[in-house]
Structure 1
Amino acid sequence: MQQLVFATNNAHKLEEVAAKINGKIKLLSLTDIGCVEDIDETGTTFRENASLKSKFIYDKYHVNCFGDDSGLEIEALNGEPGVYSARYAGEHGNHAANIDKVLTSMKGVTNRKANFRTVISLIWNGDEHFFEGVINGTIRNDRSGTAGFGYDPIFQPDGYDKTFAEMSLAEKNKISHRAIAMADLLFFLKKV
């Protein structure tokens, strides 16, 4: 079975991707390969950050791998939080503070259009390939739901009457930005 390292320490992302791969490829985490370093996200775009992660792992461990960078882009906030989604309120990974900052910034704003975007950088046998997924939706006025992570409690995808945080993992994995990008990656791997 082919092996593929996902360059992340985010347990939620690992769970989503493992469910999407569904045993077709042996998915390895950074812990599985003994990588304890933090990979700095110093890029200014999702593509740059995804590439930094995959190249770091490939250069150091010489294994097929992929990195992703994802974020929420809100039209009324000129695309913010964007590439800074995980640290929008300052501290990296403080989801509650990030949501609070978005809700405060959106008070009284009628244009609630937003999207989640994922860019994946796959390094396969030394060559880099990119895959992107986008899902459009709106920002709710309040949190709703307890599943998922990040901005899921305030993001309602178009065509649905509930947030990502109100969906099961299986429901979210059918339509999410990461699921779309992963489907393209898996299609690519079928051909190689």
Structure 2
Amino acid sequence: MKGPKIGLYAGSGTSHSWLWFLDLFEKAGFYDLVFLDEFCVGNNDIEGLDVLVISGGDTFAVAKSLGKQGARNIKAFVEHGGMYIGSCAGAYLPMNSSKKPLDLFNFVDVKITNLSKTLPLAQIKTCKFCTSYGCEFVFHPVREAVALKTTRFLDKKNTMEFTAPLYGGPGMT
């Protein structure tokens, strides 16, 4: 069975976390991968993909590097049936924001639940616990590995177990 064609954004603003997706796709038997940067997204090289993945990093830097044209192309990709998978910065990216340049990507009407004007008490290190966001803070209370068991992507009879790093990302409602 042929798998989906997956575009993995590894351009400006991303951290090394796109490598974790690469490992996951390899374990799942998906090898039809293309690596993308901001120029590929801006040139709409995502048009022929089934899935677009944006991993973690600096959400503001990702948004700035993709820019207005990248935002338009991602929105059109999803509106035409493409699947968007975002983790950490990639999950924050399409959420509603009034902050520039995130305001180019207001695609999903959700509320960030880990955004606060006052921080809960940090149990280990404040500098690894939060980051400023305008006059508020985004905080990440969990920073460890998590064991996952999932249904295999295209084969419902087989399951897959793996450990994934969990270093932050949005809580949302």
Give the TM-score normalised by structure 1: 0.33
Q: Which has the higher helix share?
A: 1
Q: Give the structure-2-normalised TM-score.
A: 0.35
